[in-house]
Amino acid sequence: MQDDLSETFTALADPTRRAIIARLARGEASVTELAEPFALSLPTVSRHIAALERAGLVRKRRRGQERTCTLDTDRLRAAEDWIAEYRSFFESRFDALARQLADPRRSPRPTEENNHV
């Protein structure tokens, strides 16, 4: 069984699903409205929405004959928190690298291996 974070990233790996998430970030939409910008069949878009539902990113409910979808941001926040941890780690590494590269005393000296052009 996959953990929540893995399910989130798996669902977000698909560009169609990311576009659906982007649309839902602007507000609730029907399945038909979500399908409009895509050259995909309604059943195909419904499968994408189902994948987003399984990942806990989208909630779908029935309103009369129409099915509407809303964005559930809890899992996105968890993914953002995970990314933020590693962002600060890598930013500190990049800052250290930049300092080393800016220090003329630390510039690499030519060697026989890397001296041929």
Task: Give the model confidence (pLDDT) of 36-69 as tens digits.
Answer: 999 999 999 999 999 999 999 999 998 888 889 9
DSSP state of 3: -
C-alpha 98: how far from chain center: 28
Angle of the 4-12 helix axis to the 74-102 helix axis, nearest 10: 80
The pTM is what? 0.72
φ, ψ of residue 65 in degrees (nearest 5): -85, -15
Q: What is the pLDDT of residue 1?
A: 45
Sorted by where each begins, the domain ranges of the chain are 4-73, 75-104
Rounded average pLDDT over 69-84: 92
- Indicate the fold that domain 4-73 takes in CATH: Arc Repressor Mutant, subunit A (1.10.10)
DSSP state of 39: S
